Amino acid sequence: MSPSPPPAPVSNDIRSLFARFGQAEDAPRYLETVRDAAAQQALLRWPLLAEVQGAAQ
């Protein structure tokens, strides 16, 4: 039932920044890290969501 995940969209600004330092392939990972951090903060704020997510065992 789960379709394969599409490639993470990366803004041109971020891609250009990483390209300038010769690390263009790291741009999606940067966004993933930012997204993961936002999700982690969300779980810390809302105990019920953390429980449902299995992060409050």
Partner 1 sequence: MKRVALLGAVGGAGVTTLTAHLAAALAGAARPALAFDANPDNLLRLHFAMRWDDPAGFARALARGEPWQQEAYRSPDGADLVPFGELQADAELARLAALLSGQPDWLAVQLATLDLPQHTVALFDCARLPSPFTEQVLAVADLVLLVATPDAAAYAATQRLLQRLARRPRAPQPPLYLVLNQFDAAQRLHRDLAALLRTAQQAMLAPVLVHRDASVPESLACKQTTFALAPHSQAAHDLQALATWMLARLGRKDG
CA-nearest of 11, 5, 7 to 19 is 11
What are the angstrom distances between the C-alpha of 55 and each of 21, 30, 49?
A: 36, 23, 8
Binding-site member from 10, 15, 41, 56 for partner 1 (CB under 8 A): 41
Q: Does 39 bind partner 1 (CB under 8 A)?
A: yes
Helix pair 27-45, 12-20: axis angle to 10 deg: 120
Size of the site for partner 1 (CB under 8 A): 19
Window contacting partner 1 (CB under 8 A); options: 13-21, 22-30, 49-57: 49-57
Residues that bind partner 1 in the complex, under the rule CB under 8 A: 1-6, 35-36, 38-39, 41-43, 45-46, 48-49, 52-53
